[in-house]
Amino acid sequence: MKIHKEEVEVSGKTLKWLKHLLSYEEMTEEDFENEDIRWDDTVFSESVKFDDGKWADLKVCSGQNNLWAEMVLFSDEGEVGCTEPSFDGLEGEWTVVDDDDEYTVVVKKKEG
């Protein structure tokens, strides 16, 4: 198994905001308006490229009553796999396994 690992830094302010959005168990239409986000949208996305040409998108997405975070792994042929949705925030390790290779993105708070 080959392990591919990359890091991405996100501002503390953004991580805090995303954690706040993910903390809603159920959002009302008013919550969406107050938070200035839309239904069925990508609220945050950051792409990371791996050494073998595959890449991952770290995303926070909205549905019609909540938000979730996930990592989606891609190759030139399209989507390879994704993590289970998370509601705990974006910071930390995200891993997808494809053909016995492990792809991990570590999301860290940007210093400074």
The per-residue pLDDT for range 34-92, each reduced to its tens digit, is 999 999 999 999 999 999 999 999 999 999 999 999 999 999 999 999 999 999 999 99
Distance in angstroms (rounded) separating the CA atoms of residues 49 and 80: 14
pTM for the structure as a whole? 0.92
Domain boundaries, the chain: 3-109
Handedness of CA 9, 79, 69, 91 (dihedral sign): negative
- Kindly state the DSSP code that residue 10 receives in the 8-state scheme: E
The per-residue pLDDT for range 87-107, each reduced to its tens digit, is 999 999 999 999 889 999 999
Distance in angstroms (rounded) separating the CA atoms of residues 60 and 107: 13
> E-strand spans in the chain?
3-10, 41-49, 55-62, 67-75, 78-82, 92-98, 101-109
